[in-house]
Amino acid sequence: MAMNGAILEVENVTKVYRQGALSVKALRGLSLEIEAGEFTAVCGPSGSGKTTLLNLIGALDRPTSGTIRMEGRDLGAMGQRARSHLRRDRIGFVFQAYNLMPVLTAYENAEMVLSLQGVGDDERRDQVLRVLGDVGLEGLEDRRPDELSGGQQQRVAIARAIVSNPAVVLADEPTANLDSENATRLLDIMEQLNRERGATFVFSTHDPRVMERARRLVRVVDGQVERDEDSAAS
């Protein structure tokens, strides 16, 4: 574990994307620490680098320079297999586009991570049914994504993200495609999971509804932290 208690440590990280002869600096020496149990929103305008930051701390990409640690482990020093296992076992992802498997039911989508982890049938079933109930999908387990509303699909995505009790849940613009009622329900669920399960939530967002609920706001502009403050929601 990290000596200072931070579950996530981002130290002087840069990320440069190459586009032919051009290079685009998405992050410019960004540093940030996230403590276990936080409910934090990384906000900023489009192109500010917030989604890039989530991809890096979620081990989906590697920084050009700088260091990222999760639970004291240097992501940059890990091989591809170790990074894959870290994503499977310690990180839950909630994507803006849901990223559900269209041919699988809500139950089957939610159990995918547990199947990959080799969890036994009975334990897997208990965990999946419990988490689908937690997100308000009891009775809808056998429906495929095209038989669910957008809000229900996003709840399946949350169930999939948290079913294995990950250390960190990363949510990239989770309310972007939802109306006010579904966005409110989604945020209620996430707050409840944060309180009851102790999961650390980090959002990438420019949605005021998410920022109002966050207990910490980190504003990123031009690839750097412009402001980092406790929210009035706390």
Confidence tier at 66 by pLDDT (50, 70, 90): very high
Residue 155 confidence (pLDDT): 87
Structural domain spans, the chain: 36-62+79-230
Whole-number pLDDT of residue 232: 54
pLDDT over 70, % of the chain = 97
Average pLDDT in the chain: 89
Q: Is 152 left (phi over 0), alpha (psi -120 to 50) or beta?
A: alpha
pLDDT digits 0-9 by tens, 88-108: 899 999 887 778 999 999 999
Q: Where residue 202 falls among pLDDT bands split at 50, 70, 90?
A: very high
Q: What is the pLDDT of residue 41?
A: 95
Alpha-carbon distance values, 59 to 77, 84, 103, 172 (Å): 11, 8, 27, 14
Beta bridge partners, 24, equal 17
Phi, psi of 135 (to 5 degrees): -100, 10
> Which residue, among 138, 128, 135, 133, has the nearest Cα to 107 in the 3D structure?
128
- The DSSP secondary structure of 150-178, one letter per residue, reads HHHHHHHHHHHHHTT--SEEEEESTTTT-
Question: Is it the case that residue 234 has pLDDT exceeding 50?
Answer: no
Query: Span 20-24, mean pLDDT?
Result: 88
- Residues with Cβ < 8 Å from 188, sequence gap 6 or more? none
CATH class name, domain 36-62+79-230: alpha beta
Please state the φ and ψ torsions of residue 84, each to the nearest 5 degrees: -65, -40
Q: Give the DSSP letter of residue 128.
A: H
pLDDT given for residue 61 in this prediction: 93
Of 61-65, 78-82, 114-118, give the lowest mean pLDDT range: 114-118
Q: Check residue 3 and give its pLDDT.
A: 39
pLDDT tens, 110-167?
Answer: 999 898 888 899 999 999 998 898 888 999 999 999 999 988 998 899 889 888 888 8
pLDDT at 146: 93
